[in-house]
Amino acid sequence: MDHVEEAGAEASVLVTGGLRAKRARVVVCGTGDRAHALRLLERRKGVEPLVVPETEELTALVAAALTADAAVILVDARAGVVHRTRRDCYLCRLLGIQHQVIAVTGLEFVDDASAALENIESEVRAFSAELGCDGSITCVPLNAATTAAPFSESPAPSDGAALIESAAFAKPPVTSELPFRFYVQWVRESKRGSATCAGCVATGRVRAGDTVVVLPGGIRARVRSVSSAEGELSEAEAGQAITLTLDTDGELQRGDLITSATLPAQVGDRFRCTIVWLDEEPLFPGRPYSMQIGPRTVGVTITEPRYRIAPDNLAQLAAKQLDANEVGACNIQTDVPIAFDPHVENRETGAFTLLDRVSGKTVGVGTLGFALWRSENVHWQALDVSKRVRSELKGQSPCVIWFTGLSGSGKSTIANLLERRLVLSGRHTYLLDGDNVRHGLNRDLGFTDADRVENIRRVTEVSKLMVDAGLIVLVSFISPFRAERAMARDTLGEGEFIEVFVDTPLEEAERRDPKGLYRKAREGRLKHFTGIDSPYEPPEAPEIHIRTLDQTPEEAVELVIATLRRRGKLTSSYPAAS
């Protein structure tokens, strides 16, 4: 990067970071006249109302609540406290909103407005006490055309002072009193003895001379200088966009979290967390997703939910997966260690967003509870004999040749012929066949989407171990989902995953049907069968594309071998097909 581009990148971070709103953000949700509440809140200076549209209820509520400082939850007096009321109270509390206003509408349509308001307030406070936020609840009446004074004064309509004044508590949290946290968004090329980065102070304060720790790497450094777009600063606090220069030879990366050395954040790769699932497709345990925390995005795998949480009564219900709009407690594992704080201690560094690994769309949000003991007590054991040593001993370049395609497409036939050719030429191989593996390692798995995800996760880990042993591994699995094949590719090293799409049309695969499985599936005797009542997602850019209607298995093997040679996986000649 030249000096002009570098300066522009730093300035961009400082300017956009400096635009962070200093007004209190108030999310408006629930049942009632949201437009009227919005008009009233807009009268108060220092408040930025965020109205949740009915058409995108939960997704919009979660997105707004992640950054909101307070919530106005509308309740219709004629219906009272309903499921949505409890759900909105719970989600706002879960995502870190400490202050909630319960605005009661429709009081003009009930016989005893005072009694109705008192009952709603009592019920909401009782539920909120279970959430641990009873002291931060304010209950006010709100007429469709005008607002009423606070309940403590009178439930009669007035000029809108109740809701407007209740918003007075909605002040941006005093995050400057929390320990110093700073996400690195831009890094200048390091010079000997110093490193410079830019970003926005998430919480706390920092000044020149402070000692900090850069996580997750653990680099300890002294702050040489603090500056903003206006120049040098004696001190910076939460919300300010700044440039930090550190006295260190360590290398900084975008997404690093710079923290106080005396009160540092935690580091881990396995966590207990709470997840709000937003996608129409359910959360599949074992399926890889992307996790965004601060400016950093890492791979993450979610285990089977420990339980699902019912928002109305907080009951913990047994669950194998999470469906759209459900909340659950889960264990997760990230691909690499990350720095974090428990969400209850710091919402700026304890919340995350889940993304689909293929499409990149948001599928859920979550809050981190704590790192599991294994994060701190299970470490990778360094060994003297490496993959390189094992590979050189065998005289080959290890890799995984991953055959994917419909049942009956010819995967196993081609993989079997290829392994025979490789072994005859003196190569060390192993063939993992989908049917064979289900007799042992994966005998406990069925054919639901969730079981298929776990099936591929296990095979991927076995393949990685075999590659580490220096083997050429052939994997012949239907592996119907792109996300799982992408996970397998990401798990292995650069250039070690070679995807082979054995492309056979469904009609041809059904015509062959060597095991009679398609016939059983069509008759309804075999559920979750790929291509019939379970989807197959064909590769979009495989390294090798075999079209079985145009190529014989022997020709397919020659194509694979030619590709392996071209990629430097095979360096000697091979015997002709026999």
Q: What is the DSSP letter of 577?
A: P
* Residue 72 host element (H or E): strand 70-76
Strands (E) located in 356-406: 362-371, 399-404
At which residue do the structure tokens 């109705």 appear?
Answer: 116
Reduce the DSSP state of residue 31 to 3 states and report it: coil
Q: Which of 202, 209, 210, 229 is CA-nearest to residue 350?
A: 202
SS3 readout for 3-24: HHHHHHHHHHHHHHHHCCCCCE
The pairing of strands 399-404 and 497-503 is parallel
Q: Which two tokens stand for residue 507?
A: 């009609």
Instruction: Tell whether the torsion through CA atoms of 548, 553, 555 and 561 is positive or negative.
Output: positive
* Burial of residue 15, with CB atoms counted within 10 A of its CB: 0-12 exposed, 13-18 middle, 19 or more buried: exposed
Q: Which two tokens stand for residue 561?
A: 């071998």
For residue 40, list its beta bridge partners: none
Question: From CA 220, how far away is CA 149, in angstroms rounded?
Answer: 55
Catalytic (active-site) positions: 479
Strands (E) located in 533-572: 544-547
* Burial of residue 362, with CB atoms counted within 10 A of its CB: 0-12 exposed, 13-18 middle, 19 or more buried: middle
* Neighbour-count burial for 106-136, b at 16+ CB within 10 Å, e otherwise: bbbebeebeebbeebbebbeebbeebebeee
The pairing of strands 205-206 and 236-237 is antiparallel
**Residue 280's Cα: distance from chain center in Å?**
16
* Neighbour-count burial for 451-476, b at 16+ CB within 10 Å, e otherwise: bbbbbbbebbebbbebbbebbbbbbb
Residue partners of 479: CB distance under 8 A and separation at least 6: 402, 404, 456, 485, 488
Reduce the DSSP state of residue 323 to 3 states and report it: coil
The pairing of strands 307-309 and 316-317 is antiparallel
Count of C-beta atoms within a 10 Å radius of residue 361:
9
Contact 398, 497 (CB under 8 A): no
At which residue do the structure tokens 């850019």 appear?
Answer: 541
